[in-house]
Amino acid sequence: MPRELKELIMEQKWCSSFLEQGVAFLDLMTDQKYLAELNRHLLLDEKHTLRLIVSAFGCEPFTREALEKQAALRMSGAQVALGLVGLRRAGAIAAFRKAWGEQLFILPEDAFAAWQLLLFPSDQLQSGKEDMDLELWEAGSAGQLNISDPAKSIHPRGLAQQLFHFLVACNQQLVLPLTNKGTLHKKQLQKLTEHLALPNDILRSSGLTYAFRDVYDEPTALMIEIAIRMGFLSINSQGDGYLFNQQSCLKWLQDSYARQQGQLYQIWRQLLVPAPVWLEHGISWMERGEYGQWYEVDIIVKGIRSCCSLGGQVTDEASLRKAIMTTWMVPLSVFRFIELGIDKEDHLWFRWLITPIQQASHNNKENDLRSSETHVEVRPSLYVQPDFEMLLPPDVSLHTEWNIAAFADLQTTDLVRTYRITKESCCRAWEKGMSSEEMVRMLHENALYEVPAHITITLEQWGEQAGKLYIEEVTLLRCRSEDIAEALLRNEKCLPLLGERVGGSDFIVLREHLTLLTKCLEKMGFNPRSSRKDKHAEVSNTLISSENQTGGLCYSRDTIQLYEMDTHLPVRDELYPDMQDIPVSWIKEFRAYHGSTRKEMIRKAIEWKSVLQLRKEGRNRLIIPRILREERSGWILEGLEEYQEISLASEDWEEMKLILPGINDEGVYM
């Protein structure tokens, strides 16, 4: 937000008092408690305008013309314009401009849930139920979504487990090169996605859009997108491959499974918002629910209908139920963010298996307490079988499983995961720098019962065989003569950095000493050159250059970020140009006017999109004029009165007054 606009908001009375108390500006503009105070300070036109925006557009960008169209039966164009100006001054609505000058408005997404509760207070989510006699609803059951093989389509552990297998596969690849087109190679894709069990149909029905659809299917695109957003994958500086950030991955693995799932829910949510207004309301409604409580899906459907009624977004309940199930709830159940159930009357219910995003931010103590129950801790939890298989029950953390996957091959991925130790899997671990002693220690630390002795012996024997011969990549420092080599050995700073001497004039140099040795040689007057590019330096530079790499595969729905914020706030004179040219009596008092003057007043009201107040025999009427139509028998005023279209002839009123919202509308209610 530009500084000038931010200062304008902070100077307002409702805002300044909270700022003096130390409330952060971001909390002030998004927290329900503070927005409730702002809501009390809003003028009537501002409240009506904001309520209509929340109902008709949610967090999607809209133009003033689109808002006026939605408000056509309720408010005049001047009321809408006045409401928008007030809301912008308060910071409730932001304005942007496209390159060609078109103005767009938007309600900030992080304040949407609070405004929904404040502006639709009667629509409250009923208390959930803990224990219910429900039959769990499976996304692939009864052929409801036409999934060809439901058993392979749904994973009982959810999205975090799926991402884990993808990351393990990435880590096992030496490199992740890209084709000239910018995609991963087909053979490598097969290795990376071998253990994914995400149904294409369900992800496609959610509306997920992404690049390279001819190469990547929906599950693959989702995995790559999540990995990029979480910093596990980034494109190198040459743009010809992905880099895997193991450090970032290990940090994520340290957390509890519940928190890992919660992080992935937030990413999935970001991929789908700003959503169509009905879905935005549905998401916000659902996120009011408490962890583990059952709620009826039809309550969410009715809530959407009531919130969207002003914007004409209401459809029949059956269609709306099907839409929110297909687009939102079924993917959430596949990812194990929620669980779905059916009661004896065939009514659908849902409950959260994670803490919803809003509650996570406003109820941190409770969330921390619940998450601490499943936080990663080293304790015996897996079973080591005599046949070299390991069984990992559901409570085994992904961090422990990562260490096991380093030297064992995945056999089955389910609630109980199965791994098998082979000589080939151990070779893979040795190449990554893991010793047989570390493997044995890992087994003994995590095994619930004693590790069979022959497994320990076998791992040690394999390790001994592997240690007898190995290939190591080193750097060779070549000197032009033995005299130069002797000079280097006499230098106290160079001597510790030189490795084994080869022949009379060459030295083996360890990679970690190369940088310091180069500086030392330069101080001695030498200028060592390399016969090849240093791959380590390449990787380092690549990592630095990719720190700001944020682009993934999925197309962002947040198009407003492409435009610049409009800092100009119109004043009253801009709403009613040339107001000084009209007689003051038009807006001061009721009077009977000649027919020609009446038509002038009507035309001016239409031009300014304002309101006319008419009086006949002591009865007042408020009209939003739309058309002045000339006929042979006279002229006709067409407009709106109390949400109804009306037509009036000149004899239908005696006196009239021009009402300009923000000028002389006090005490006048539409």
pLDDT in tens, 370-426: 444 444 556 788 999 999 999 999 999 999 999 999 999 999 988 999 999 999 999
Is 8 in contact with 89 (CB distance < 8 Å)?
Answer: yes
| pLDDT exceeds cutoff 50 at 255 | yes
Q: What angle do CA 153, 158, 162 make, to 5 degrees?
A: 75
Residue pLDDT, tens place only, 456-508: 999 999 888 765 666 677 788 888 889 898 998 998 889 888 888 888 889 99
User: Is beta strand 501-502 parallel, antiparallel or unpaired with respect to 506-509?
Assistant: antiparallel
Backbone angles phi, psi at 499, to 5 degrees: -90, -150
pLDDT of residue 363: 43
Tokens of 492: 């106290």
Which of the residue ranges 21-35, 409-423, 545-559, 569-583 would you say has the lowest mean pLDDT? 545-559
How much of the chain, in percent, has pLDDT values that exceed 90?
55
Burial class (CB in 10 A: 0-12, 13-18, 19+), 136: exposed
Segment 151-169 shows an average pLDDT of 84
| pLDDT exceeds cutoff 60 at 658 | yes
Place of tokens 């003028």: 43
What letter represents residue 195's amino acid? H
Segment 83-96 shows an average pLDDT of 92
| pLDDT exceeds cutoff 70 at 558 | yes
d(CA 306, CA 124) in angstroms, rounded, equals 11
pLDDT of residue 378: 60
Segment 238-256 shows an average pLDDT of 93
Is 571 in contact with 41 (CB distance < 8 Å)?
Answer: no
d(CA 477, CA 505) in angstroms, rounded, equals 9
Tokens of 76: 């005049």
d(CA 35, CA 114) in angstroms, rounded, equals 7
**Model pTM?**
0.81
When mean pLDDT is compared over 4-18, 51-65, 469-483, 558-572, the highest value belongs to 51-65
Is 232 in contact with 170 (CB distance < 8 Å)?
Answer: yes
Q: What angle do CA 327, 330, 331 make, to 5 degrees?
A: 75
pLDDT of residue 183: 93
- How far is Cα of residue 328 from the mean position of the Cα atoms in its chain? 14
> Residue 442: how many CA atoms within 13 Å on its side-chain side?
20
Backbone angles phi, psi at 278, to 5 degrees: -65, -35
What b/e string do you get for 563-574 counting C-beta neighbours within 10 Å, with b at 16 or more?
Answer: beebeeeeeeee
Instruction: Report the interhelical angle of 436-446 vs 453-467 (nearest 10°).
Output: 160
DSSP 327: I
Question: Is it true that the peptide bond before 274 is cis, omega within 30 degrees of 0?
Answer: yes
| pLDDT exceeds cutoff 50 at 241 | yes
Backbone angles phi, psi at 63, to 5 degrees: -100, 165
Tell me if residue 410 falls in helix, strand or coil: strand
Segment 517-538 shows an average pLDDT of 70
Nearest to 29, CA basis, from 91, 73, 86: 91
Is 652 in contact with 595 (CB distance < 8 Å)?
Answer: no
| pLDDT exceeds cutoff 60 at 534 | no
pLDDT of residue 362: 40
Segment 218-222 shows an average pLDDT of 95
Is 615 in contact with 658 (CB distance < 8 Å)?
Answer: no
List, edge to edge, every strand of the sheet that includes 233-235.
Answer: 176-177, 241-244, 233-235
Nearest to 37, CA basis, from 58, 7, 16: 16
pLDDT band (50, 70, 90) for residue 15: confident
Instruction: Report the interhelical angle of 257-272 vs 159-172 (nearest 10°).
Output: 90
| pLDDT exceeds cutoff 70 at 140 | no
| Alpha-carbon distances, residue 498 vs 483, 487, 534 (angstroms) | 16, 12, 18
Q: What angle do CA 482, 483, 486 make, to 5 degrees?
A: 85
pLDDT of residue 314: 63
DSSP 376: -
d(CA 331, CA 139) in angstroms, rounded, equals 8
Q: Compute the mean pLDDT over every residue in the chain, rounded to the nearest whole number.
A: 86
> Residue 444: how many CA atoms within 13 Å on its side-chain side?
11
Backbone conformation region of residue 579, classed left if phi is above 0, alpha if psi is from -120 to 50, else beta? alpha
d(CA 94, CA 57) in angstroms, rounded, equals 14
| pLDDT exceeds cutoff 90 at 670 | no
d(CA 154, CA 139) in angstroms, rounded, equals 8
d(CA 513, CA 497) in angstroms, rounded, equals 6
| pLDDT exceeds cutoff 60 at 638 | yes
Nearest to 80, CA basis, from 35, 108, 45: 45
Residue pLDDT, tens place only, 420-451: 999 999 998 998 888 999 999 999 999 999 99
When mean pLDDT is compared over 130-134, 203-207, 213-217, the highest value belongs to 213-217
Place of tokens 């010793």: 435
Backbone angles phi, psi at 26, to 5 degrees: -60, -45
> Residue 521: how many CA atoms within 13 Å on its side-chain side?
19
Q: Which residues pair with 554 in a beta bridge?
A: 210
- How far is Cα of residue 299 from the mean position of the Cα atoms in its chain? 25
Residue pLDDT, tens place only, 283-341: 999 999 989 999 999 999 999 998 887 766 667 888 999 999 999 999 999 999 999 99
pLDDT of residue 536: 38
Is 51 in contact with 310 (CB distance < 8 Å)?
Answer: yes
What letter represents residue 51's amino acid? R
Segment 611-630 shows an average pLDDT of 92
| pLDDT exceeds cutoff 50 at 57 | yes
Segment 176-195 shows an average pLDDT of 93
| pLDDT exceeds cutoff 60 at 139 | no
pLDDT of residue 121: 82
d(CA 468, CA 557) in angstroms, rounded, equals 57
Segment 541-568 shows an average pLDDT of 67
d(CA 355, CA 366) in angstroms, rounded, equals 10
